[in-house]
Structure formats: structure tokens, C-alpha cells
Structure 1
Amino acid sequence: MSELPVLDDARSLLGRALVGHGVTVLITEVEAYAGPLDPASHAYTRTPRSDIMYGPPWRLYVYRSYGLHHCANVVTSPEGEASAVLVRAGRVVEGLDLARERRGPKVADVGLARGPGNLAEALGITLEDKGTDLLDPEPVHLGERVEEPARVMAGPRVGVSKAADAPWRFWVDGDPTVSVYRRSPRAPRASSVSPS
């Protein structure tokens, strides 16, 4: 158990099925966001946009990133704590043709749900799905863990400018669907420890 339950929740989502609108992915990459304790979280300050993150748990928080892409998050904390896990990538295991139709015929299978915007698009997730109970079967739900990851890696979250060095991104080591790490140009330089 870690000090922050959302970190354990994030790791526990790896290898689980996420089903949306006729497509199923196995989750291969996630990022944890610790609500009011985390300056990179949308819920660091409570707003109408982030209100859903304050509970109840196992709801889908959907937002538009830069007005372009939908991103899917699993609210994991008890009511009032506002922790959530961004689902960054997955491997399409059912509904491949539908995912291809949504993402375009030239996208390779490993890229269909690589990156949070691509994953939401492959699953057909939009703002209309915000608030969905992920324990109910329709329209978007979390399934059981299908695969136990052999090795889980941890590192900094992608593109965040605050708390940029927190190792709260988790991924299945060696899985080709995992996205590439990119540090935000607005983030301070990575901290380093000098020898004493």
C-alpha cells in the first residue's frame, strides 16, 4: 500500500478491460491525480468542471484537452477526496474494426488507443459519457483484470507543468501501445541530486 491510495488504484487498473460503445481495450498506461493534494489535478481547486471528481467513486470523468480531444478518467476516491486516474493507453482486444473506423484506416493497431485522446476516440467516449457509473454495463464500464502485467514501470506524468517530477504515471513495461513520455515545456527543469 502506498501513502496515497490513488497510486494503488492507478496500478490496479493496468490489465483491466475498459469497454465503451462496442470497443474493448486492455488498459496499459495510466496516470494518478491526487485531487486537492496535487497541483497538476483538475480538482486541486474545486470547480464546476472538477466537481464530479469529488465523488462518488467509479464514475467516469471526461474532459476536453485543449478543446480537441476527449480524455477519460476513473474517479477512484471516496466522496470528498477527488482522486482520479487518467487512462492514457490501451490495447484494443474487441471491436477492432469499429476502433479503426473511429480512428482512421491508416492508424496501426498498436496506435489505435495510444494516448488519452486516441483511447477515448477509439472507445467512442465523449462529454455525454461524463458521470457514467463504470460498474454498470452500459454505455462505458470497467471489466475485470484480464491480464496481470508482468512488470509495471513508474515515472513522471506526461505534459504536466506542476508536480512534473512526481512518478505517478504507470505503464506495462514493453507494451507497444504505451505512449511516449513528453515533458511539458512549461515544467521546471527536472530536479537532480548533487553528490555530497
Structure 2
Amino acid sequence: MITNENSFQLLPESFYKQPTLTLAKQLIGKILVHETEEGLSSGVIVETEAYLGALDRAAHSYGYRRTKRTEIMYHQAGLIYTYQMHTHCLLNIVSGEVGEPEAVLIRAIEPYSGVDLMMQKRPVKNIQNLTSGPGKLTKALGITMQMYGKPIYKQPLYITEGARIDEIMTGLRIGISNTEEARDYPYRFWMAGNSYVSR
């Protein structure tokens, strides 16, 4: 179904220049790859969330809030927006037009290659708990805040072509209950029936 890791085909910069909601859906089934000194590990993206910037109360950039943390969101699509939540680093892809601070959160992946390496970085008894959440997947892949601002279409952290997904589910985002009307936006997307989806 998916080509082997020796023939990963990087998604070009132009892929990310899609409307944010479209991009969030298009990323389902693609492969997130991280090359490190220890080796290469990857996973199929099975869940994403879209954040529509200035008009979205759940977005860090709501109301055009521009801080040191959100600065990269104002730049071109395809750059990496990492931020710290508690002890976790979360991975987002900048989307939308320059000056419109939107992004897509990579929420869960299904391990694809380098699983042993991922288990070293994040030991778990149940493999389905390895990457079934945004903080879990970054820990397992060794993604840190150092990736902030780097392009997702170049090594060492990049996204490639993957499988065609026949059914993508749509629903409410998770963990944003204090964001008034934004908590009801159907901006979360996931691969139907996949056991690595966070919920």
C-alpha cells in the first residue's frame, strides 16, 4: 500500500499552499519522516487538527496575536511551528497566506518504519499507545523545539507521499473547551477505523 522507506517521495513546498482545512485533510495518509543520527523513523499521519488563525479562538494567533512563539505562523506555508505544552513539544505545519497565521497540528501517526528506535525514545508496553497523541508522536520521533521555523519539505524532518485514504472522518477538536464557539468547529480530521487515532 505504501512504498518502502528507500523511495520516500517528499511533498513539495507547493503542496502546503492549500486552504488550511483542505491541507489538514490532505495530510491524512501521508508519511511523517524524521532522520536523526540514531537512524530514520516514520509514521503514517492518521489525525490532524486545523487552526484558522485570527478568527479562531482556539488558535494561538487569535485576534492577530503576534508573539515570539506565534511569529512563524505569519510566514509562508510549509514551515514548522513547534510549541511547548506542559512537558510536550507539539508539531504544527504553518498554512494559509503570508500574514494570515494559520496552522495544522499533527495529532497522531501510525508507526511505519524505525519502530524499534521509536520504542527506545518512548518505551511503552502497548504499541498503540506509542504515537496516539501529539506529544507522544514527537517524543517517539525525537522531534524537539529546535525544528521551529524549519521547512517541512526538506530533511531532516519532512512529509512524503503515502497511501490513498478512502474515508476521512470529521469532528470536534480536542482539549479546547474554554474557547467559546471555537470548541464547536469541526476542524479535526482522522483516518476512519485507525487504532492510533488519539480518541
Q: State the TM-score, normalizing by the size of structure 2.
A: 0.84
Following superposition, the deviation at residue 5 of structure 1 comes to 1.9
2:135 matched to 1:117? yes
User: In the alignment, which residue of structure 1 is the partner of 2:47?
Assistant: 29
Q: Whole-Å Cα distance in 2 between the matches of residues 176 and 127 of structure 1?
A: 27
The letter for the 2-side match of 1:15 is G
The letter for the 2-side match of 1:140 is L
Q: Whole-Å Cα distance in 2 between the matches of residues 107 and 17 of structure 1?
A: 24
Following superposition, the deviation at residue 108 of structure 1 comes to 2.1
Following superposition, the deviation at residue 78 of structure 1 comes to 2.2
The letter for the 2-side match of 1:81 is E
User: In the alignment, which residue of structure 2 is the partner of 1:187?
Assistant: none
User: In the alignment, which residue of structure 1 is the partner of 2:68?
Assistant: 48
Correspondences of 1:62-101 after superposition (within 5 Å): 62-66=82-86, 68-101=87-120
Contact 1:60 1:129 in 2 (8 A): yes
Structure 1 pair 36/174, CA: closer, same or farther in 2 (3 Å)? same
Structure 2 gap segments, 5+ residues each: 1-17
Which one of 28, 31, 55 corresponds to residue 14 of structure 1? 28
2:172 matched to 1:156? yes
Q: Whole-Å Cα distance in 2 between the matches of residues 156 and 107 of structure 1?
A: 29
Contact 1:132 1:139 in 2 (8 A): no
Contact 1:72 1:86 in 2 (8 A): yes
Following superposition, the deviation at residue 122 of structure 1 comes to 1.1
Deviations 1:55-94 (A, max 9, x none): 111011101112x101000112221111100000001101
Q: Which has the higher helix share?
A: 2
Q: Whole-Å Cα distance in 1 between the matches of residues 156 and 21 of structure 2?
A: 26
SS at match of 1:14: coil
Of structures 1 and 2, the one with the larger relative CO (CA 8 A, separation 6+) is 2
Q: Whole-Å Cα distance in 2 between the matches of residues 28 and 35 of structure 1?
A: 23
Structure 1 pair 78/174, CA: closer, same or farther in 2 (3 Å)? same
User: In the alignment, which residue of structure 2 is the partner of 1:143?
Assistant: 160
Deviations 1:30-64 (A, max 9, x none): 00000111110011112111010111110111011
- Superposition misfits of 4+ residues, deviation over 6 angstroms: none
User: In the alignment, which residue of structure 2 is the partner of 1:183?
Assistant: none
SS at match of 2:139: helix
Following superposition, the deviation at residue 17 of structure 1 comes to 0.7
CA RMSD of superposed structures (Å): 1.2
Structure 1 gap segments, 5+ residues each: 181-196
Contact 1:29 1:89 in 2 (8 A): yes
Q: State the TM-score, normalizing by the size of structure 1.
A: 0.85
